[in-house]
Structure 1
């Protein structure tokens, strides 16, 4: 499967990548009862996003997979493989009343990177010495505390990629972690992995990137997550350009990610929650792929699998798991429902 296929978006050729036509999402006109006093605010927020073209199917501002696809295409000649899953948890979630950050000392000249392998002490190295092996052992440079007055609420996200928790400062970072966890090229996801310390007089003093991604035979990809308004500010763009140049000299990629459509986010959240025991998946996933002989509604595939002796409720879970593992595909721009069209991945 080519990297360009990973966005699972439809194309204009009318083939298998376009089993159903994109539709415009209809926004509710009545606040949801379950939201209570926040219902009106949620409704207004949906209207605001719709006005900016972010809830219309097929009118995304940017393909949310573009950053990861471009990185995954940058294979090195020497295939460096990322090690096994990390051991233990690397998220410090105590100290609810404060946020403790680890900071390296600022250098007399140039730029250094501070990191920690135990979450308590900081070591400083040249940025070029931030190897994939070192980054995979780094602990977050901050504690992920939560307070009533915070605008963004830090969370800890469990990922299939690491088999552990990854810290995130906001729900937007959580969304990117879920997207990275879905991408097959990602082998490691680290939160707040290091802090860049610039010499005195530099336009930037300290900067801690939000995330780092590692992949087999790929340079480390450092990612900052910002909402579109923040990313558009000139001050941030100048800061990002400086950080990008510093990391590029060290052979690392750098990107700023600004979000994805709510529908794709909801689908990813739905698929990542599907759990199927390994032996059951190994037995029934090939059968489900064989039965999906053409693009078909989920309910039809469930019925076909059930006819082979697999309980229908488990069959739906199996399909969601296959979509997460990319053994099946669907149009991620539409909400996943029993009537959604699924099809097998082209070899």
Structure 2
């Protein structure tokens, strides 16, 4: 495999380097833009890392947003390394989209490709990548488009992902009020103070999983019922 660190590009056998902090490394290849490009390339500010992480399409952006949201993520890197794979009789180089360090110390490798764009060769490459990751003790997933309702709700909450949206005093009041019973977000905001002041903290608390609501079934609204952590 090939990866980049402060010393530049390095190559080694995966079995000898699988313990490295790939979530802190540099991309093994640059994300490029050019005139007439059909896919959208950009960077996502990650609340998990406190830094920008690259993406190469809107589908990747949404999946990166999800990786930033899920509880187990403590580190995320884009284009973390290039694997040398054997697919049938061919030697193939493949660069996974993301490496995620989980809170329990394990690694998670993620490839993003919509189902409709996965051909026979692509499927074989992803399968070989999965076997390689399994040998390294990492989890591997190939994901496609994020559910549209969940994606829309995460995009809204992501606007409040920065810690500056959290008011600790308001958060304490929110926890106290929710200890009595779950209630709609709008009702909760009114009981905790001026809604325009309280709502950013409520949305941030949902983002960091301190309180919970249904994000997968219907669009988030002031009528969405929110629960305290102990009731989630």
Fold equivalence (TM over 0.5): yes
Q: Tell me which residue corresponds to 2:171.
A: 285
Q: Which residue of the other structure, out of 11, 27, 37, is the alignment partner of 1:140?
A: 27
Tell whether the 8 Å contact from 1:161 to 1:189 is kept in structure 2 after alignment.
Answer: yes
Measured after TM superposition, the shift of residue 335 of structure 1 is 1.1
Q: 1:202 to 1:214 in 2, by over 3 A?
A: farther
Range with bigger deviation, 256-265 or 245-254: 245-254
| Residue 224 of structure 2 corresponds to residue 337 of structure 1 | no
RCO comparison, higher one (Cα < 8 Å, 6+): 1
Q: Tell me which residue corresponds to 1:13.
A: none
Q: Tell me which residue corresponds to 1:212.
A: 99
SS, match of residue 63 in structure 2:
helix
Q: Which residue of the other structure, out of 221, 241, 258, is the alignment partner of 2:144?
A: 258
Residues 74-132 of structure 1 show CA distances to partners (whole Å, capped at 9, x for unaligned) of xxxxxxxxxxxxxxxxxxxxxxxxxxxxxxxxxxxxxxx001114x9321011123334
Tell whether the 8 Å contact from 1:276 to 1:318 is kept in structure 2 after alignment.
Answer: no
Q: Which residue of the other structure, out of 22, 32, 36, is the alignment partner of 1:149?
A: 36
Provide structure 2 residue ranges, at least 5 long, that are not aligned to the other structure. none
| Residue 15 of structure 2 corresponds to residue 128 of structure 1 | yes
Provide structure 1 residue ranges, at least 5 long, that are not aligned to the other structure. 1-112
Tell whether the 8 Å contact from 2:28 to 2:79 is kept in structure 1 after alignment.
Answer: yes
Give the greater-gyration-radius structure (CA): 1
SS, match of residue 12 in structure 2:
strand
Q: 1:338 to 1:181 in 2, by over 3 A?
A: same
C-alpha RMSD of the superposition = 2.2
SS, match of residue 197 in structure 1:
strand
TM-score (norm 2): 0.89
TM-score (norm 1): 0.61
C-alpha separation in 2, matches of 1:128 and 1:154: 32
Q: Tell me which residue corresponds to 2:51.
A: 164
Range with bigger deviation, 212-221 or 182-191: 212-221
Measured after TM superposition, the shift of residue 253 of structure 1 is 2.0
Q: Which residue of the other structure, out of 289, 296, 299, is the alignment partner of 2:183?
A: 296
Tell whether the 8 Å contact from 2:99 to 2:108 is kept in structure 1 after alignment.
Answer: yes
C-alpha separation in 2, matches of 1:330 and 1:253: 27
- Tell me the matched-pair count: 228
C-alpha separation in 1, matches of 2:214 and 2:103: 28
Q: 1:243 to 1:277 in 2, by over 3 A?
A: closer
C-alpha separation in 1, matches of 2:14 and 2:84: 10
Tell whether the 8 Å contact from 1:219 to 1:252 is kept in structure 2 after alignment.
Answer: yes
Measured after TM superposition, the shift of residue 318 of structure 1 is 1.2
Q: Tell me which residue corresponds to 2:77.
A: 190
Q: Tell me which residue corresponds to 2:204.
A: 321
Measured after TM superposition, the shift of residue 340 of structure 1 is 1.9
Residues 160-194 of structure 1 show CA distances to partners (whole Å, capped at 9, x for unaligned) of 11000001111111111111111111110000000
Measured after TM superposition, the shift of residue 139 of structure 1 is 0.7
Measured after TM superposition, the shift of residue 200 of structure 1 is 10
Kindly indicate which of the two structures has a greater share of residues assigned to strand.
2
